[in-house]
Structure 1
C-alpha cells in the first residue's frame, strides 16, 4: 500500500497540507506496523469542497450508471479480498481465518445486498393521481467509521450513500486505517467520478469534529461509542444537519429451559467472537432457573476451551484487543467486577498463559452479577460475559430492558409463541432468536442510547434521502 500517508480527494491521492504522522500499532505484538498521516482543517475543507462540487452531477447521474459502478466495485473488492483480510488482521487483530470469512465477508455481503436493493428501488412513486413523491439525495455526507468491523461499517455507509446520489467524505478509524486506505483504492479502481468519494484520515477531535461541524456537510453518519455519538450530535446541532448514529450495546441473551442443547455454548462463543469487540455482542446471559446449574458448567467449559493466539496464526481462535487503551479498559472492568463481588467463573485479569506481549485478554465469565454492578451496566467491549438466572418471563424481560442501550437482544426457546411474545417486548432494534441470523439487507440499528437510523439494504439507502412532495405532476 503506497498511499498510507496520502488522502484520497477529488479522484487523486494527495499529500496532507501539513505533515502529522501517526503510527499504527499491530495489537498482536505491540509493534508499529504502518505510519499514516492525520489530516487538519485544510484537508477536511478540501475533501468537503470536492464532494460539494461533484454533488450536482452525481445526484442526477442515471441509476443504471451508478449500478454499473457498484457492480464493478464488488468485482474489485472480491478480486482483492486477500489484501483486505491481511490489512484488517494486521491493524485490529482479527485472526486471518476470521478476517477472511467474517470481516471481509461482511463487506461483500452488504455490498451484494445493496446492489439487490438498489436495483428494485424506486426514487419516484405516485402518491395520488396528480401528486408524486420524490426521494432525492440529501447532499454531502461525512461518514465516520470504527475499528472493530472496518469493512462492515465502511460498506454500510459508503455504498448506500453513493447509491442514493450523495457525495461523501470518509474518515476511517485512525487505529485501524489500513483497510480504509485499501477500500479507497478499490473505489478509485472501480472508476467512480472525481469528488463522489473522498477519504481523509484523522482522529475524532480533529477531522471527526471538523466534519461534524462543517457548514457544507449535510449529514453525518457515525458508528462508535455512545459518548462520541453525543458529542457529534452536539457539534452537528449548530448547522441542523442530519445525524445517523449506530452506537453501543449491552445485549441480553435469554435462554429458556426448553432451549436447544447448544444454546449456552453458542452464546459464549458469540459473546467472545471478534474478541468481544462487537456492539451487538450478547454480553448478558440470562438462563431460566431449572437449567442454570447446567449452564454454569457449560459456560465455564466454553470459556476455558476458547483459544487466544496472535492474529497471524491460522485456526479458530480469538486474537488480541485492538489497542493499549482497550486492553486497559477491559482489564479495569474485570478487576471492578471482582471488587464489586461478582464470582469469577473463568478467566480473569491479566494475559493468557504464554502471551506476555500483545493486547490479549483472558476469556472471562462472571456469575452472581447483580444489576447495580458496573459490569452489568457498562459496555465492556472485550471477551467478558455476565451469567445470571431468572425465574419467569416478566422478570427476565424487565432485566433485559434494564439498560440505556437497545441494539440487539437474543431469545432461545422452542416455544414459538413465547419467542414472538418476548421479542415484541424487548426494547431493541434487533432480536435474534434461536441462533437464526438476519437476512441480507435486514435493518441494522438500535433504540435508546444505541443510536438512531438503520443500515443495510433498502433501509440504508433511505437514510441518505430527502422526501419531496410535488403536486400537479400530471
Structure 2
C-alpha cells in the first residue's frame, strides 16, 4: 500500500491531489480528524499556489476537447459516473460518516443516492436543453449555451460529496472543466470521486481535485485569470474574500451562503406536523444551511406547541452516527463546537432561557437546544449558529409574523405552517427567501432554482439556471432568406 493511502472501514483512499489525471503529492500535509471520537484518520496532502496553478493549467488544457465533446457523449460519461457512485454507495457512506460525523443511515439511504442522481439529472437535462427560436422583424433568434471554461468549485463540510456534485455535475454537463477544492475538515469523498470519474472514462484534466486550506490554496484558485466561473458554498466572510479575489478578473460567481431561516406556525396549522418538522431542524446536528432555526409561533398555540416540541425532542438519541438508532451525531470540529457554545452562553447571559439543552455533551457533541425569551435584535436571533440550536419567538398576527421572519440580514429559506391557503399565499408572497416551503420541509427538485437573497447568496442554480451560470449564453440572429453563393 502506498504511503499516501489511508483506509477507512477497509476503504482505501488516496490522500494526494488529483491533477491532470494523475495523483500529485505535496511536501506538506494536514491532519484529517474524525468528529466521532477525535481520532486522526490520516494526513492529507496540503496544496499551495503551486498545486492551484497546476490544476487550473490542467483544466485549461483539457477544456477545448471536452467543450467540443458532443452532448450525448458528455451525458453518457456522467451516467457512467453515476453508475460508479451507485456501486460504491456503502463505501462512500461509511467514509463520509467517519469524516464529517453525519448519520450513516442518512448517507446510505438519501445522501449518496442523491449524489448519483445529481449526475443523472444534469446529464438528462443537458440533452433536453433548448430555447425555442423566435422571430424579430423576420430575423431568427437562436439561443445556445456555450461552455465557459475552467471552473473552480469550493464546497463545504456539512454534506461534502452531495454538495460537491451539485456543482460538479452541471459544470461537466455544460462542457466546462473543473477544479474542485473540498473543505479541509471533510476531504475524503472528493478523492474517491476522482477515482470514480476516472474509471467512468472522464478524460484527464476535466476534473481535478486539490486539497488544503483556503488561505493557502483557495486564494490562488479564485484569483487565477484562467478561471471562468467560481461557485462557492460556505460562510459570508469567506464569500466576501472570494468576491474580492475574483473581482480583478471579473470572474462570474455563484455564492450559496448562510441562513437564519424562519419557521412560521400559525394557530390554524396542523400542530403535530409542525412539531415533527420543527424537531427535524436538528438534523445533521443542526449543520444545515436551510434549517429553520428561528421558530415563530402564534401566541394562541405557543404554549401547546412548545410542550409538544419538548416532548418530541426528548425522544432524540445522540451518539455515534454509525449506529442506526442514533438521531444526532457530533459537530464537525472543536472550533465549531466552541462557536456554538459561545452563542448559547452569551444568549443565556443576556436573558434567554434554555427550555432544553444549552450545554455540551462529551467529545464534540452538543445537546439539542431550544432558547426562548430572545429579542429580535439579539445575536442569537440575528447570526447563524450552524449547530443544534433553535430559538422560539411568538407573534400575534400575520403582519408581525412577516416582520419577524424578514428581520435578519439573511434570506435563504422559510417554512410556513397554516391551514388557510389564502394566508399561505399572502405570507409567502411577502417573505424574503430563495425557497419557501408550505406545510412541508426540504422537498427539493433539481430542476427548481436554488439560492439565497440578501447575505444568503448571489445567483441561482438548478435546472436551466445551472446551465445559465456555467455557460456563456449566446443569441445568434440570422437575417431572412437571401443567401448568396459566392463560390
- Alignment equivalent of 1:236, drawn from 246, 262, 269: 246
Tell me the equivalent position of 2:453. 447
Tell me the equivalent position of 1:161. 171
- Alignment equivalent of 2:97, drawn from 80, 89, 110: 89
TM-superposition CA deviations, 1:75-123 (whole Å, max 9, x none): 1111111111011100000121122123323323333332332221127
Instruction: Sort the Cα spacing of 1:387 and 1:161 in 2 relative to 1 into closer, same or farther, 3 A.
Output: same
Query: How many residues are paired up?
Result: 467
Tell me the equivalent position of 1:419. 424
Residue 386 of structure 1 pairs with residue 391 of structure 2: yes
Residue 194 of structure 1 pairs with residue 204 of structure 2: yes
> 2: CA distance between counterparts of 1:450 and 1:391?
27
1:411 Cα offset (Å): 0.5
Residue 431 of structure 1 pairs with residue 441 of structure 2: no
> Larger Cα Rg: Structure 1 or Structure 2?
2
Instruction: Sort the Cα spacing of 1:340 and 1:263 in 2 relative to 1 into closer, same or farther, 3 A.
Output: farther
Tell me the equivalent position of 1:460. 466
Tell me the equivalent position of 1:303. 313
> 2: CA distance between counterparts of 1:301 and 1:127?
62
> 2: CA distance between counterparts of 1:362 and 1:177?
26
TM-superposition CA deviations, 1:170-208 (whole Å, max 9, x none): 000110001111111111111111111111111111111
Q: Is the 8 A contact 1:164 1:464 kept in 2?
A: yes
Structure 1, unmatched stretches of 5+, are none
1:34 Cα offset (Å): 2.0
Tell me the equivalent position of 2:40. 32
What's the Cα RMSD here? Answer: 1.6
1:473 Cα offset (Å): 6.3
Instruction: Sort the Cα spacing of 1:111 and 1:205 in 2 relative to 1 into closer, same or farther, 3 A.
Output: same
1:233 Cα offset (Å): 0.4
Tell me the equivalent position of 2:15. 5
Q: Is the 8 A contact 1:270 1:282 kept in 2?
A: no
> 2: CA distance between counterparts of 1:77 and 1:388?
43
Tell me the equivalent position of 2:408. 403
Bigger shift: 102-111 or 162-171?
Answer: 102-111
1:6 Cα offset (Å): 1.2
Give the TM-score normalised by structure 1: 0.95
Residue 112 of structure 1 pairs with residue 117 of structure 2: no
Tell me the equivalent position of 1:365. 370
- Alignment equivalent of 1:15, drawn from 25, 43, 57: 25
1:456 Cα offset (Å): 2.4
Q: Is the 8 A contact 1:10 1:194 kept in 2?
A: yes
Q: Is the 8 A contact 1:250 1:406 kept in 2?
A: yes
Give the TM-score normalised by structure 2: 0.93
1:127 Cα offset (Å): 5.6
Structure 2, unmatched stretches of 5+, are 1-10, 481-487
Q: Is the 8 A contact 1:253 1:267 kept in 2?
A: no
SS at match of 2:14: coil
Instruction: Sort the Cα spacing of 1:456 and 1:472 in 2 relative to 1 into closer, same or farther, 3 A.
Output: closer
Q: Is the 8 A contact 1:299 1:365 kept in 2?
A: no
TM-superposition CA deviations, 1:424-446 (whole Å, max 9, x none): 11011000110152334222111
SS at match of 2:72: helix
Tell me the equivalent position of 2:5. none
1:54 Cα offset (Å): 1.1
TM-superposition CA deviations, 1:42-83 (whole Å, max 9, x none): 111111001101111111210010010011111111111111
- Alignment equivalent of 1:57, drawn from 38, 62, 65: 65
Residue 472 of structure 1 pairs with residue 482 of structure 2: no
TM-superposition CA deviations, 1:388-416 (whole Å, max 9, x none): 11100011101100111110100111111
- Alignment equivalent of 1:275, drawn from 285, 291, 295: 285
1:135 Cα offset (Å): 1.6
Bigger shift: 458-467 or 217-226?
Answer: 458-467
